[in-house]
Amino acid sequence: MSDIATLVPAPADAELAASALRGLDSALGTEGAVRLQFSGQGGEVEVPRSALAALAQVLESFAHGEGVTVVPAHAELTTQQAADVLNVSRPFLIGLLETGQIDFRTVGRHRRVKAASLIRYLRADDARHAAAADALAAEAHALGLA
């Protein structure tokens, strides 16, 4: 579980993150690796654009004063950690596990949830919500309510 890292910005970091995010916008529009320079120590490093996109997401959350949790796809979470990610109760999560909606394995008597399986569930759940909202909007339009 040491792979999981929660990063919480200090209040002063929000403005710096917003500024850094603006600087990354042009680099995200290019192809290939991106070279970053560091002030102070004066080094530079080449970074894959996909990693830069992940950094931009972290900076965007920081700019809004929100923390982020970084979880590698191979990581396994306890049922409580997985429930926290979904913002549901642990008993509700166990119901999702038992009905096969989220994959898990048992270690002794304990369930472990693969982060990748949890992400798949979140994406499918978001898609279900979007489809339901679209259907409601279409029905409201058909009824002349919108």
Sequential pLDDT tens for the chain (146 residues): 457 788 899 988 998 999 888 888 777 877 777 888 777 777 888 888 888 888 999 999 999 999 998 888 889 999 999 999 898 999 999 999 999 999 999 999 999 999 999 999 999 999 999 999 999 999 999 999 87
The residue type at 146: A
Q: Is the pTM of this model over 0.75?
A: no
Residue 26's contacts (CB-CB under 8 Å, 6 or more residues apart) are: none
Give 121-129's long-range contacts (Cβ < 8 A, gap of 24+): 121/86, 121/96, 122/85, 122/86
d(CA 15, CA 133): 35
> In this predicted structure, what is the pLDDT of residue 71?
85
